[in-house]
Amino acid sequence: CVDACPMRALEWGELEDLKAKHGDSVSELPLLPVSSVTKPALLIKAKNNAKQKDFKEKEI
């Protein structure tokens, strides 16, 4: 997936290295299951709206 992504939106490596490189990224968002349950090894460059706890899903 990383090699095939034409927009280079995906990056892989050691999680600590990625955290250092992308310090503004998060691993938990209100609309996702809590990370203590899923234990994801990912970082998300989320928009501010996605970080809001009062997030409401809307389908357009």
**Is-above-0.75 flag for pTM?**
no
- Say if 3 falls within a structural domain: yes
Alpha helices in 1-60 (DSSP H): 15-21, 35-38, 48-51
d(CA 10, CA 6): 10
Cα dihedral 36/26/60/2 (nearest 10):
-100
Which of the four pLDDT bands, split at 50, 70 and 90, describes residue 9? confident
Please, what is the Cα angle at 12 between 7 and 15, to 5 degrees? Answer: 135
Residue 29 included in any domain: yes
Residue 59 lies in a domain: no
Query: Which residues constitute the domain of residue 19?
Result: 1-46
**Quick one: how far is CA 55 from the chain centroid?**
16
Tell me, yes or no, whether 11 lies in a domain: yes
Name the residue with higher pLDDT: 14 or 9.
Answer: 14
Condensed to tens digits (0 to 9), the pLDDT of residues 20-40 reads 999 889 988 888 888 889 888
The verdict on residue 56 lying in a domain is: no
Please give the tally of structural domains in the chain: 1
